Amino acid sequence: MAISTSLWSFALVVGLLTLTPGLDTALILRTSALGRRRRAWGVVFGIQSGTLLWGALTSLGVTALLTASHLAYVTLRWAGAAYLVWMGLRMLQDTFRGLPRSSVSDSDLLTGKDSVGGGWRQGTLTNLLNPKMGAFYVAVLPQFIPAGASHFAMGLLLTMEHILMGLMWSAVLIGCARVLHGWLRKPQARRLLDRITGTVIAAFGIRLALSD
């Protein structure tokens, strides 16, 4: 398989994965729609930092441990599930309390100030605590590395292709979410958005916990 063929084939696979609505989409849309544009980009950069690390570790063969060690995979899966359920329940709890946004501390992980750093930490943690990202890279990435090519160099090249597509799609999501910003000035609209997003995130956590 030639390098150019590998790049086009891998782009098709990860392109479909990127366009499929999921946890990353929910986080980016929710953060951007609330008017926190810098934090939304921080979430994007955090997610892509996690993707880069998964790709690098896979290229080095480290993440194969997740498939070789059932205990390592289960531990990471439960840690990720617990984090997602906690995040979703916190969003839901605040909406039913009727807390105004101004009463939430700037250091709060979920609704902190509009900073790139806070969003980056949230996006990175969410991505790295998802063992299915590691399993996906272990299962898929080696199939697109041509014979004779450097596993590490080619693996990073394919990963950067995935990251580039993720950044482009995230820019579209953030742009679309800005349209909702005016509507979300209403407290009722913000509560509705957080209830939807919180439910989606908690559901992803439960699904991760119950998955095989």
- 200 within some domain: yes
- The count of domains in the chain is 1
- 20 within some domain: no
- 21 within some domain: no
Domain containing residue 55: 3-13+47-97+104-210
- 82 within some domain: yes
pLDDT values of the chain reduced to their tens digit, one per residue, 212 residues: 578 888 999 998 888 888 877 788 888 988 888 778 899 999 999 999 999 999 998 888 876 666 677 777 777 778 878 877 887 888 788 777 755 443 333 334 454 567 888 899 999 998 988 877 877 887 788 888 888 888 889 999 999 999 999 999 999 999 888 777 666 667 777 778 778 878 887 887 788 788 76
- 19 within some domain: no
Which token pair is 177? Answer: 């979410």
Which token pair is 132? Answer: 């299915």
- 24 within some domain: no
pTM for the model stands at: 0.75
- 37 within some domain: no
Residue 25: CB partners within 8 Å, gap ≥ 6? Answer: 173
- 108 in the Ramachandran plot: left (φ > 0), alpha (ψ -120 to 50) or beta? beta
How far apart CA 51 and CA 56 sit, in angstroms, is: 9
- 31 within some domain: no
